[in-house]
Amino acid sequence: MAVPRNALLDLDPGIGQVASTVRFEVVDRDLVVIGNVVPLAAESISVNTSGTAKRELSGFRLDPQTLRDIDPFANRIKPSWILEDGTEWPMGVFVFTGSTLHRGTYVSTLDTTMTDQDAILDQGTRQTFGIGQRGWILPAVEELLGEVRITSVVLPWGSQATVADPVVWAAGESRLKILTDLSKLAGWLPPYFDNNGYLILRQPPDMASDPPDHVYSSTNSRVVRDTIVEHDDLLSAPNVYIVTCSGPSQGEISAAAEVDARLPFSVQNRRFEVVDVERAQGINSTEQAQQMATTKAAAAGSGYKNVQFDGFADPRHDIFQTVEWDGEMYRETGWNLKLSPGGSHSHTLTQGGFDRAG
């Protein structure tokens, strides 16, 4: 869904410079604002959709007195980009995962390591966790989130997704890993926390029919032209996708699909296979496995072109969003926003659709 328009962020005609600042709020476990903090420094916010912690706040430096006023075990930091028109744009919620004290002659400083709330989910379970045969996925998700008191969520309510055979994760397995596995079985995107700090589970965007979240071009005034880099990785692109599941009740379930024969990296053109194998629990049928493999092959056929560029600050960017670049659709796989007025905002785009598992 396209992000809201804003004349300043879109650099409408007649707009030259834009005044802005960043506010850092302190919020509790339920994302209720309980105060503000002024750091000595805050370098950047970065997103990597393939990372365990998908969002990081770098260079966040506090003086020891300020940190004493914060409970790093219970409090979180919520930065927001504030524009001169009064609009506010949140950029995620971050938890403290580490700190380093630098002692000085006159002033000591404390550098903190901050990641998004994936860090809460990426902790091991105390006991084994599982779903029985034909069990519902959504209640299992709610149970996992309840164990760590994550209540600010947007889930696919009403989902009828189930597993085929019983699935079990050993004690000590990361809840984030379990949620990612369940999302794959249900056909959802991996779990992530959005700009407001809410946990999101949802269907992938439809690259063919859904409007893009953002629109850029190589001639756009919001793009620094000499930073544009375009390349592809077709030589290493898989041309065969295999999905397999060893289910106790139905034996092994497996399916394979090739990319379109007309593509330059296809089996027919290369005369050899470059295979991608996905092993999953809980697949219901060969038909489901075939759908998964076929979808992955079709998504690969959309292209393997990558684009990188720097632009002006735009805090409307979130996670797992789409970008139209020079009239073609891309996934945004990462970005980095400098937390200073006039700071650069770098973007990494990849062609090809999102995987759908169901």
Q: How far is 135 from 282, CA to CA, in rounded Å?
A: 10
Residue 6 domain flag: yes
pLDDT at residue number 280: 75
Q: Are residues 295 and 307 located together in one domain of the fold? A: no
Q: Are residues 73 and 124 located together in one domain of the fold? A: yes
Residue 357 domain flag: no
Q: Are residues 345 and 266 located together in one domain of the fold? A: no
Element at 338 (helix H, strand E) = strand 328-338
300 or 90, which is more confident?
Answer: 90
pLDDT at 356 over 70: no
Burial of 101 (0-12, 13-18, 19+ CB in 10 A): exposed
Q: What is the pLDDT of residues 203-228, one digit of tens each?
A: 888 887 899 999 999 998 899 999 99
pLDDT at residue number 129: 97
Cβ burial 229-263 (10 Å sphere, 16+ → b, else e) = eeeeeeeebbbbbbbbbebeeeeebbbbbbbeeeb
Residue 74 domain flag: yes
Strand partners, 199: 153, 193
- Rg over CA atoms, the chain: 22
Averaged pLDDT for residues 277-299: 79
Q: How far is 167 from 96, CA to CA, in rounded Å?
A: 33
Q: Are residues 147 and 227 located together in one domain of the fold? A: no
Domain end position, chosen among 153, 185, 205: 205
Q: Are residues 143 and 37 located together in one domain of the fold? A: yes
Q: Are residues 135 and 86 located together in one domain of the fold? A: yes
Q: Which of 85-99, 276-290, 316-330 has the lowest mean pLDDT?
A: 276-290
- The structure's pTM equals 0.85
Q: What is the pLDDT of residues 316-325, one digit of tens each?
A: 999 999 999 9
Total domains, the chain: 3
CB 81 within 8 A of CB 93: no
Q: Are residues 261 and 226 located together in one domain of the fold? A: no
Residue 270 domain flag: yes
pLDDT at 12 over 60: yes
Residue 96 domain flag: yes
User: Residue 236's pLDDT band (boundaries 50, 70, 90)?
Assistant: confident
Q: Are residues 67 and 154 located together in one domain of the fold? A: yes
Ordered DSSP codes for 72-86: TTT-EEEEEEEETTS
pLDDT at residue number 101: 65
Q: Are residues 225 and 243 located together in one domain of the fold? A: no
Q: Are residues 95 and 52 located together in one domain of the fold? A: yes
Cβ burial 330-339 (10 Å sphere, 16+ → b, else e) = bbbbbbbbbb
| Percent of the chain whose pLDDT exceeds 70 | 92
pLDDT at 295 over 90: no
pLDDT at 357 over 60: no
Range of the domain at 308: 214-233+303-350
Mean pLDDT of the chain: 89
pLDDT at 109 over 80: no
Q: Are residues 192 and 334 located together in one domain of the fold? A: no
CATH number at residue 16: 3.55.50.10
Element at 139 (helix H, strand E) = helix 137-147
| Dihedral Cα 338, 339, 340, 343, nearest 10 deg | 20
Q: Are residues 186 and 224 located together in one domain of the fold? A: no
Averaged pLDDT for residues 60-72: 85
DSSP 312: E
pLDDT at 198 over 90: yes
Residue 18 domain flag: yes
Residue 223 domain flag: yes
pLDDT at residue number 358: 33
**C-beta atoms surrounding 65 within 10 Å:** 9
Residue 10 domain flag: yes
Burial of 45 (0-12, 13-18, 19+ CB in 10 A): buried
Domain end position, chosen among 300, 325, 340: 300
pLDDT at 309 over 80: yes
CB 10 within 8 A of CB 315: no
Strand partners, 244: 254, 279
